[in-house]
Amino acid sequence: MNRHNDLDDKLAAITDVILEGKAMSLDSDVSDIEMQGLTEVVHGLYELIAPDVPADPAFRARLDRRLDREWNALHRRRVLRWHQRPVFRLAALAAALVVAVVGLALVAGGESAGMTGTATGPLSPDALLLAGIVGLVVAAAALFWYMRRRR
Amino acid sequence: MGQNVSDGALVRRAQDGDREAFRALYDRYFDKVYNRVKAKVPIQEVEDVTQEIFIAVARSLPRFEHRAKFNTWLYTIVSRQIADFYRRYYRRDEVSVESDEEGPVVNFNDAQIDNSVILQRALLSLPAHYQEIILLRFADGLPFAEIARVQGKSLEAVKSLYRRAIEAIREKVGQ
């Protein structure tokens, strides 16, 4: 074991003792001058950070209340933004697609069926094709919009 | 909420609006964050900075994407908030020097320069990996073996890094 390994182990052991709150006399327990200097730093850090000293309970209580208020405000904002949720957007997209396709199909069907005097006559192949193309274009545009929103 | 629930699971629940999950995360990390702030910020400012950190965490949590560990993300927020504090601190300090008016502005240059302040400044001036090993041991209370496990290093490497960090502080304090 070289000198550095020895120093590493000694300093780690001394740190453990200090952090356990056990008093350590620099003169009696640490003979090495170099180690004494390092031990002083460890003592200083222990006093600075004082890990055993908890926060003031009054501060903790204040922070608890502040975070509760913050949580409530954030949650309220999230509820207000329900329309921005992905599930709602997907549902709205699906509904819009259905309405667009059905509406176009009805219009196209109605035009061709006008000759027979019925509003809901069977769709012509041309009307079906037109409705399909428009539906595909709308679906592609909707998908493109949704993917951009997700990024 | 049980200590055996992982940070990641608690974060997911908190992101779904579970207040108790957020509370459990807050309880789990309060002391560590508070100790880290004590290590780096003047004692009279520790409570304010700690509060700002947890408010920032509450506000940012919905955007946490689980790409990193929660505590890595949390400690990034701690570092950012402490950096923000020092930006305000130095700006306030300049104002207090320039202004003739009496007011609530505190001139921290007049603060008592004791050993703790010197040590704090030395710690702040260390490279990040030296600061982190000291904070893991002192603020988070992790034993060296646990630090080695968390950082994926050997125990010897961790002890060596720690000794070099302490030596660096001693050199800076001695300057």
The pLDDT of residue B104 is above 50: no
CA distances, B164 to each of A38, A49, B167 (Å): 10, 19, 5
φ and ψ at residue A20, rounded to 5 degrees: -80, 0
Q: Which of B15, B25, B43, B47 to mutate to test the interface with A (most CBs of A within 10 A)?
A: B47
Q: Between chains, do A8 and B123 touch, taking CB under 8 Å as contact? A: no
Q: Pick from B31, B34, B55: which is nearest to A70 by CB?
A: B55
CATH class entry, domain B112-175: mainly alpha
Confidence of residue A101 (pLDDT cuts 50, 70, 90): confident
pLDDT band at B109 (very low <50, low <70, confident <90, very high): very low
Residue B89 has a pLDDT of: 87
Whether the per-residue pLDDT at A89 is higher than 60: the answer is: yes
pLDDT tens, position by position, B32-85: 999 999 999 999 999 999 999 999 999 999 999 988 999 999 999 999 999 999
| Residue B22 at interface with chain A, using a CB cutoff of 8 Å | yes
- Would you state the structure tokens that stand for residue A118, as one six-digit string? 């019925």
CATH 1.10.1740.10 residue ranges of chain B are 1-111
- Count of A-B CB contacts under 8 Å: 104
User: For B144-168, b where at least 16 C-beta lie within 10 A, e where not — what string?
Assistant: beebbeebeeebbebbbbbbbbbbb
Whether the Cβ atoms of residue A8 and residue B162 lie closer than 8 Å to each other: yes
**What pTM was estimated for this model as a whole?**
0.70
> Residue A37: which of B50, B51, B170 has the nearest Cβ?
B170
Residue B126 has pLDDT above 70, yes or no: yes
**B35, B62, B163 member nearest A51 (Cβ):** B35
Q: Do A74 and B59 touch (CB under 8 A)?
A: yes
More confident residue, A122 or A6: A6
- Residue-wise pLDDT for B128-168, tens only, equals 999 999 999 999 999 999 999 999 999 999 999 999 999 99
A82: tokens are 């329900």
pLDDT at site B91? 80
Q: In the structure, what pLDDT confidence band is assigned to residue A26 with cuts at 50, 70 and 90? A: low
Looking at this protein, which amino acid is placed at residue B22?
Answer: F
Identify whether the C-beta of residue A146 lies closer than 8 Å to the C-beta of residue A89: yes
* pLDDT at residue A93 greater than cutoff 80: no
* Residues of chain A contacting B55 with CB distance shorter than 8 Å: 66-67, 70
The C-alpha of B85 sits at a distance from chain A's nearest C-alpha, in angstroms, of 18
Residue range A76-84: average pLDDT?
A: 62
Which residue bears the tokens 């720690």? B162
Domain residue extents for chain A: 3-49, 55-82, 85-150
CA–CA distances in Å: residue A11 to residues A2, A25, B164, B167: 14, 14, 10, 11
Q: Comparing C-alpha atoms, which of A41, A35, A31, A40 is closest to residue A10?
A: A35
Of B19, B34, B170, the CB nearest to A71: B19
Does residue A100 belong to the interface with chain B, where contact is any CB pair within 8 Å?
no
pLDDT score of A125: 73
- The CATH number assigned to the domain with range B1-111 reads 1.10.1740.10
Mean pLDDT of A68-87: 73
Q: Tell me whether residues A8 and B19 touch, CB distance under 8 A.
A: no
Nearest by CB to residue A48, choosing from B120, B143, B162, is B120
Name the residue of chain B whose CA is nearest to A78's CA: B17
- Considering only B10-19, B93-102, B121-130, B166-175, which range has the smallest mean pLDDT? B93-102
Structure confidence at residue A88 as a pLDDT band (50, 70, 90):
low
**ipTM of this predicted complex?**
0.83
Please tell me the predicted confidence (pLDDT) of residue A76: 77
Q: Dihedrals φ, ψ of A114, to 5°?
A: -60, -30
Could you give the CA distance from residue B159 to residue B152 in angstroms, rounded to a whole number? 13
